[in-house]
Amino acid sequence: MIDTNAATYELGTPISIRLTNRTARSLGYNLCRGRLERLFENEWQVVQGSLAEVCTAELRGLRPGQSTSFVFRLDSTMREGQHRVRVDLHDPMGGPPVEALSNVFTVTITRLD
């Protein structure tokens, strides 16, 4: 349900994600509250707890088949490796939230020797 616009990003490059509702019901979301995770020793760990420096707590609606995009930058302390984005999706009818995961992407850092 979440796709990035590239498979590899250089530190400092903007990352664009697209969330698409592939369910038959409307969902609530807030992409700036998504979490960035890094694969470390075969375990996913949160490395950035919010994708935006400033973020409101509002939930936006996403109808079935509808998509939305969000652009963010990686924190300057980010490490190289495999990453993904995790976003909570909320059922406006009161069902339990579900987590949407992005594709795995690689973060690289250019070193000037």
Q: Model confidence over 33-45: pLDDT tens digits?
A: 899 999 999 999 9
Residue 12 forms part of a structural domain: yes
Determine whether 42 is exposed, middle or buried from the number of CB atoms within 10 Å of its CB (0-12, 13-18, 19+).
exposed
| Nearest residue to 65 via CA among 17, 26, 16, 18 | 26
**pTM of the predicted model as reported, rounded to 2 decimal places:** 0.88
Structural domain count of the chain: 1
pLDDT band at 32 (very low <50, low <70, confident <90, very high): confident
Residue 17 forms part of a structural domain: yes
CATH of the domain at 78: 2.60.40.2300
Residue 24 forms part of a structural domain: yes
Residue 113 forms part of a structural domain: no
